[in-house]
């Protein structure tokens, strides 16, 4: 195993489960000092044990700017720098247009949009040339998937952030890119699909490669975008979706 992130400080929001947890494990194996966030202390503690390698869990909600600030205050005390931010925290909800209300709108955009803005903004004082930001998007940002227009729009905003922030941060030498998964075999999706086998069959048929993705497959793409191996990649959206968006 290479050590591309030896002594690098890596921040992963929503790192206690799913893609965030899988990514944290790979960063830790490659030598990074990993900090993860999550809203549930019990799940966060379990994830820290699973990651090992001195990983640190900082409880907090990305929609609360004070929680985000406290995360970076901890890192400032520990290491005085941030090398990689993986802004991963997000929520998914199917809400048809005719039933959207204020609560649906606020919950989706507060986490997927507002939370991402402040996760990145508050990291900037600790970031220097060569640092990288990876945003977790979705193929939904490029598709008109029915019944989930709020989610689709929130992920389209993520794609726009990468374009704009690439220009905003180019003079500082900080690269920004997006990883956009398709359907991925996380614990939450698995619990849903186990109760809806016909949905899983239809979903698999919609993917050119014929299956859901694995969290590690997305995680490896994140590490590529965060590493010097992608040194001339900026403002890009990397689909990890078995071909759904491209074919």
Among the options 35, 92, 151, 192, which is catalytic? Answer: 151
Two tokens at 149? 């227009």
Sequence-distant (6+) residues with CB within 8 A of 168 are: none
Residue with tokens 């793409």: 221
| Phi, psi dihedrals of residue 178, rounded to the nearest 5° | -120, 135
Pairing of strands 33-38, 56-59: parallel
The residues facing 133 across adjacent strands are 85, 176
The reply to whether 72 belongs to the active site is no
What is the distance of C-alpha 240 from the center of its chain? Answer: 13
Asked if 104 and 93 count as a contact pair (C-beta separation under 8 A), the reply is: yes
Query: 3-class SS at 11?
Result: strand
Quickly list H helices, the chain: 18-29, 41-51, 65-78, 102-109, 115-121, 149-169, 187-194, 197-206, 215-226
One-character DSSP codes across 184-213: B--HHHHHHHHT-HHHHHHHHHHSTTSSPB
Angle between helices 149-169 and 102-109 (to 10 degrees): 30
> Residues with catalytic annotation?
151
């Amino acid at each position: 195993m290479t050590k591309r992130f030896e002594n690098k400080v890596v921040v992963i929001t929503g790192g206690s489960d799913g893609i965030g947890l899988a990514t944290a494990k790979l960063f830790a194996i490659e030598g990074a000092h990993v900090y993860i966030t999550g809203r549930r202390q019990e799940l966060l503690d379990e994830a820290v044990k699973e990651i090992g390698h001195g990983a640190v869990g900082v409880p907090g909600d990305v929609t609360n700017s004070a929680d985000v600030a406290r995360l970076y205050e901890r890192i400032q005390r520990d290491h005085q720098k941030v090398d990689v931010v993986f802004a991963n925290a997000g929520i998914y909800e199917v809400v048809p247009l005719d039933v959207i209300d204020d609560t649906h709108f606020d919950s989706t955009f507060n986490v997927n949009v507002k939370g991402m803005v402040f996760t990145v903004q508050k990291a900037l004082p600790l970031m220097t040339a060569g640092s990288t930001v990876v945003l977790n998007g979705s193929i939904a940002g490029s598709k008109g998937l029915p019944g989930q227009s709020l989610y689709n729009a929130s992920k389209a905003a993520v794609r726009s952030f990468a374009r704009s922030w690439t220009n905003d941060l180019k003079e500082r030498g900080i690269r920004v890119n997006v990883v956009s998964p398709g359907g991925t075999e996380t614990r939450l999706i698995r619990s849903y699909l186990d109760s809806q086998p016909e949905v899983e069959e239809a979903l698999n048929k919609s993917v050119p490669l014929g299956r859901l993705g694995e969290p590690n497959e997305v995680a490896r793409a994140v590490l590529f975008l965060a590493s010097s191996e992608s040194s001339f990649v900026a403002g890009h959206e990397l689909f990890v979706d078995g071909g759904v968006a491209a074919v």
